[in-house]
Structure 1
């Protein structure tokens, strides 16, 4: 299947994109996993906030004048939409983008600002894909596939060239996986230059289409997908991408939404980078040792940063909990004067900062003379949480959960 793509295709794409895309230089991130040397490839800082510009622009640049005259149509969870919109505008052609109606508002509005017409489609990415094909057939638009197209894959592969050029002795590269266009291009480029470099993919546990397809030996379609990483919430991998992953990718693992949230928080705090859910999965895999990174020089590809600000606040809270930075405890208390103050004193002396208190007297689950107290507090880490739990128990309080 490697005949679908040649290394010269990727170099040709790099030449076309040289004056279009930003060359995102690697960032050393020593705190992500102290047992390895981690670098971030910050495509979240790319024009349009995502790597998708590379493949979309290169594909559009290679269209014939006849194809361009019909305008282009695409489907997207948001980032490919912006890449197509910008690429079409730069080439002086019209674009229509089908997005799932649940796409983040920020991505919808950004797509419109780049000059595209937008049609919101009920359902998820795959529903938007079906609608885009219907409109293509009805009106004769030129379709720009978000991942399963050799030219798009070649454009994404330019990231692999940049990684090898900047860090020739890299041991492993970790890449987000949705439909597979990004990892297909990156893995093909890197393995073609240095087969010894390991390439690992990462999907969300709520959308493991490529994982299940590879383990089953054929492409499968998931009945549904659900993850905070909307950019990789794809029910079925591509035909070309499945074969390229099978040939060039060493392994694909999954991470949970809580792990993704923790990775987003870590990048914000440690590297001052804002990543969307899909953009953070590679970092999550390195943080939580989902792939063998110990003692190795590893690049985590941060594929995008287009996260809705409303979602960001929720993700931060989940990330705080997952990282042990926020802790909620429920305690059964005797309903006597001064007890609440004493509990607060114990927590405060142990370094916890209480940010929320719920005092419940009317629950039928507790004795009449008792009450339930729920505290939410800021903590340092999971070890600190255990210190507080032990301190409360030693002070005579019954920690329910």
Structure 2
């Protein structure tokens, strides 16, 4: 898969901005102090946070969904329904975008999915189906539903990784790289890969030297293992607080881009993610769901390596159940 070009990303921005404004990027003094303390006196760290938690659905996924829906509407005039599988943020984005384009939305989630994310998707107009014990099972069911003979021509499956999604997510990266001073390193969480591929596209299109570092949950290590072994490696996904990183089988198209563009992938534990969630709230008063806090957890892990540098941290979303966040905020995991 070819990464989107700068004109393509700028065209995608015009689609996104019909539905939402750009999200902000800030450097927070308390967070800089925390990160610099972890650098063991080897130089201060200046961190800039990209606040995708400020989007209309509380996550970056809305961007790719809007670009994907515009493409579907233009190329499939008989389309009435979109079908997607998700743990939450992708589904909210798809439902929001589908509503904007007059389409019905069916979302498949695994059993035991976040209650608050389920309610948020339904509030966006999605019809919810629970199927399977993990995301992979939901994905396979949703794909079969969309492609069944009875739905031929009227239903479309919205992939969780697709060139149009990458084009859409790249719009936040373009805002970020153009809105802050030059970054030495950027930390990006990896779920299925559209976010880090969008960051790679913009870094390359602008001719920047920024080092891209992917972050995954150590309890969901498939992308880290695949990166290290340079082949697709399936691995169990057991993270308890970062459902957006819960991927059992990496996407090959995403991995090919990651192999070519990412400096390294680091693993962070659920305990480190929980600590980063508390740090984000304490230092910036922003909510970060588990997957979103992984980037900060990675930056905290690599404190010495980032000493004296300017770094970017992508806060991909804020959609965490209140009970879980309360327990994490109030105590160690």
Q: TM-score, normalised by structure 2?
A: 0.91
The SS at the match of 1:56 is helix
**Deviation for aligned residue 1:28:** 0.9
Counterpart in the other structure of 2:60: 51
Does the 8 Å CA contact 1:227/1:257 hold for their aligned counterparts? yes
For residue 206 of structure 1, what is the aligned residue in structure 2?
A: 219
Q: Secondary structure at the match of 1:8?
A: helix
In structure 1, the partner of 2:109 is: 99
Equivalent position to 1:184, from 176, 197, 203? 197
1:178–1:233 contact (8 Å) kept in structure 2 = yes
Matched with 2:39 is: none
Q: Which residue of 1 aligns with 2:122?
A: 112
Q: By percentage of residues, which structure has more strand?
A: 1
3-state SS of 2:215 partner? strand
Give the Cα–Cα distance (whole angstroms) in 2 for the partners of residues 124 and 290 of structure 1.
Answer: 34
Deviation at 1:102, TM superposition (A): 2.1
Deviation string 1:78-136 (CA, Å, 9 cap, x unpaired) is 00000000000010011101111222111000000001111011211111101101101
Instruction: Identify if the C-alpha distance between structure 1 residues 292 and 194 changes in structure 2 by more than 3 Å, giving closer, same or farther.
Output: farther
Q: Please name the residue that 1:39 is paired with.
A: 48
Indicate yes or no: 2:321 matched with 1:311. no
Task: Determine if contact 2:68/2:165 at 8 Å carries over to the other structure.
Answer: yes
Kindly indicate whether the alpha-carbon contact (under 8 Å) linking 1:200 and 1:291 is maintained by their aligned counterparts in 2: no
Q: Provide TM-score, normalisation by structure 1.
A: 0.76
Asked if structure 2 preserves the Cα contact closer than 8 Å seen for 1:253 and 1:291, the reply is no
- 220 and 160 in structure 1: CA distance in 2 versus 1, 3 angstrom threshold: same
1:29 maps to 28
- Per-residue deviation, residues 288-332 of structure 1 (Å, max 9, x unmatched): 3268321111110000000001111222244xx37xxxxxxxxxx
Stretch moving more, 263-272 or 6-15: 6-15
Task: Give the Å deviation of 1:54.
Answer: 0.3
1:47 counterpart SS class = coil
Tell me the CA shift for residue 239 of structure 1.
Answer: 2.1
Alignment match, 1:341? none
Q: Which has the higher contact order (CA 8 A, sep 6+)?
A: 2
Q: Which secondary structure does the structure 1 equivalent of 2:312 belong to?
A: strand
Secondary structure of 2:320's partner? coil
Q: 1 CA distance for matches of 2:301 and 2:77?
A: 46
In the TM superposition, residue 68 of structure 1 has moved relative to its aligned partner by: 5.6
Query: After alignment, is 89-98 or 6-15 more displaced?
Result: 6-15
- Say how many residue pairs are matched: 318
- Mapped to 2, the partners of 1:134 and 1:156 lie a distance apart of 26
Q: 251-260 vs 183-192, which deviates more?
A: 183-192
The alpha carbon displacement at 1:19 in A equals 2.3
Which structure has the bigger radius of gyration?
Answer: 1
Aligned to 2:232: 219
1:194 to 207, 212, 222: 207
What do residues 18-65 of structure 1 show as CA deviations (whole Å, max 9, x unaligned)? 222331111112333123001111111111010000001110111135
Of residues 48, 66, 85, the one that matches 1:75 is: 85
- How many Å separate the matches in 2 of 1:160 and 1:154? 10
Cα pair distance change 1:298/1:224, threshold 3 Å: closer
**Residue 131 of structure 2: aligned partner:** 121
**Corresponding residue for residue 152 of structure 1:** 165
CA shift, 1:168, in A, is 4.0
Structure 2 unaligned residues grouped into runs of 5+? 37-43
